[in-house]
């Protein structure tokens, strides 16, 4: 018998998800030359990608961006959200100052999935905000889990990081999982007519640290568009 705590005795929130790593490969991109490594969450089967600058880190700790997959924003450049621009900004920052972007798959629409995100869009076009739309669908406002992300960061040796995010909830959740955020580095990208209501909701209802320079547009037409990320 041992007196040390076993994994089963740890509070659920502190139990890491086991992860497994693949090989590190070169990834030349439009944003610079990176290295990439796939990580599999063995609890869920989700496959994530770590994209890192091979250059030495500038500053007290490496920049880390936990980027939740957003097909519409990341691939199609949708202006309903700011994900695509945040992804580009983070890659530019990491290329310049060193660090890692962890691309978290299976987190579409703050974890509700692509099809549900589209349903939420439809409700938003009917006048609900991004939080209310999820509630109307009976879905959590944020279903994302960062246990695998924290475990990947730990296994990459990234125990103290500068987090590229406006979302204080991410900082709290990483701290619970044992990753220390020594600084929050804001990732504000320009607000647009099409996403201002979404960004305003993130600021007002989800405690995001945003300085918005446009007055919220009336909830009609394109200005009523909103969505769910970061």
CA distance 224 to 230: 19
Contact between 73 and Zn ion (CB under 5 A)?
Answer: yes
Question: Known catalytic residue: 162?
Answer: no
Q: Least distance (Å) from Zn ion to the CB of residue 73?
A: 3
Phi–psi pair at 61, nearest 5 degrees: -155, 155
* Binding piece for Zn ion, criterion CB under 5 A, among 76-84, 88-96, 121-129, 133-141: 76-84
Two structure tokens written together for 184: 């929050």
Question: Known catalytic residue: 41?
Answer: no
Contact between 179 and Zn ion (CB under 5 A)?
Answer: no
Would you say 142 or 158 has its CB closer to Zn ion?
Answer: 142
Determine whether the annotation assigns residue 70 to a binding site. Answer: yes
Question: Catalytic: which of 41, 142, 228, 230?
Answer: 142
DSSP code of residue 81: S
Question: Catalytic: which of 80, 144, 162, 173?
Answer: 144
Look up tokens 């030359």; give the residue: 33
Q: How far is CA 141 from CA 121, 188, 208, in A?
A: 14, 21, 14
* Binding piece for Zn ion, criterion CB under 5 A, among 33-41, 71-79, 162-170, 192-200: 71-79
For residue 94, give the H/E element and its range.
helix 83-97
* Binding piece for Zn ion, criterion CB under 5 A, among 19-27, 91-99, 168-176, 222-230: 222-230
| 131: CB partners within 8 A, 6+ apart | 141, 201, 205, 206
Contact between 174 and Zn ion (CB under 5 A)?
Answer: no
Two structure tokens written together for 138: 């009976």
**Residues annotated as part of the active site:** 142, 144
Residues that bind Zn ion (CB under 5 A): 70, 73, 81, 83, 229
Write out the binding residues for Zn(2+): 70, 81, 83
Write out the binding residues for GTP: 65-69, 86, 108-110, 130, 165, 170
């Amino acid at each position: 018998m041992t007196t040390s705590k076993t994994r089963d005795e740890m509070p659920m929130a502190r139990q890491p998800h086991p992860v497994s790593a693949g090989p590190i490969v070169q990834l030349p991109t439009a944003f610079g030359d990176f290295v990439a490594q796939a990580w599999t969450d063995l609890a869920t089967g989700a496959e994530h990608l770590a994209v890192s600058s091979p250059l030495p880190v500038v500053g007290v700790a490496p920049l880390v961006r936990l980027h939740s997959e957003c097909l519409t924003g990341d691939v199609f450049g949708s202006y309903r959200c700011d994900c695509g621009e945040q992804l580009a900004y983070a890659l530019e920052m990491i290329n310049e100052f060193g660090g890692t972007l962890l691309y978290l798959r299976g987190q579409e629409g703050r974890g509700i999935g692509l099809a549900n995100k589209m349903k939420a869009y439809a409700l938003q076009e009917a006048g609900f905000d991004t939080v209310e739309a999820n509630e109307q669908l009976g879905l959590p406002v944020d279903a994302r889990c960062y246990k695998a992300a924290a475990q990947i960061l730990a296994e990459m040796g990234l125990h103290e990081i500068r987090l590229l995010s406006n979302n204080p909830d991410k900082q709290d959740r990483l701290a619970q999982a044992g990753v220390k955020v020594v600084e929050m580095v804001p990732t504000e990208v320009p607000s647009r007519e099409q996403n201002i209501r979404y960004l305003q909701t993130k600021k007002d209802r989800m405690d995001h640290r945003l300085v918005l320079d446009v007055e919220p547009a009336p909830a009609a037409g394109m200005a009523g568009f909103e969505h769910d990320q970061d």
